[in-house]
Amino acid sequence: MLSGIKQPARASAAEHYSRLTVWLHGLLPRFLSWIPITWIGFAMIGLTGFGIDIGMLTLLHGGVHVPYPIAVTLSYTVASVANFILNRWLNFQVHGDIAKQSSKQLVVVVSNYLIWILGFSTVLDVIGVQYQVARIISACVEGLYLYLMMRLWVFRGSNSTAPLAPATDRAAVAGKTQQKSITR
């Protein structure tokens, strides 16, 4: 290393994640360009959380034979904590009062469980929707609820560096994507 030459700073995981979500946003068809970049990041983290939830449920209930209600509660709790941490760090990129944010997130997680996981899916089941279909429908509504609550309440007013969806970034990403497809 030569003295006096400044080395470029390495990009953080959050910066790499932002670039990925901006790139993915640029791949959306124009009629879906209204979708926020943070929704794409939220969906990817949500799928990771779902994997943690199902994996842990399988390990606890299927492997260690923990009673199902306890296994579901533990796996949902761990997945919810992972989801909060990853969204805070990578997707919304917020800084600030983590105690206030996590207490708000606790309210969101409990209300989500009662309203959507338990309540809405039960109502769908009672009116005759097959229980797995009912759970999938409620999971879709639950995802929207969680995203909106995180974006508009849990992390509202926090010092966020999350990428917005400026048209110039979108056009630049879309232009690069089009150039690659033309050269192939």
pLDDT band (50, 70, 90) for residue 84: very high
Q: What are the sequence ranges of the domains in the chain?
A: 34-157
Query: What mean pLDDT do residues 16-22 have?
Result: 94
Q: Which residue has the higher pLDDT, 26 or 7?
A: 26
pLDDT of 161: 64
Lowest mean pLDDT among 19-23, 83-87, 123-127, 160-164: 160-164
Contacting residues for 134 by C-beta, under 8 A, at least 6 apart: 121, 122, 124, 125
The mean pLDDT value of the chain amounts to: 83
Q: Which amino acid is at 50?
A: F
* The predicted structure's pLDDT at residue 7: 61
Mean pLDDT, range 112-124, rounded to an integer: 86
Residues of 16-41 as b/e, b for ≥16 C-beta within 10 angstroms?
Answer: ebbeebbbebbebeeeeeeebbbbbb
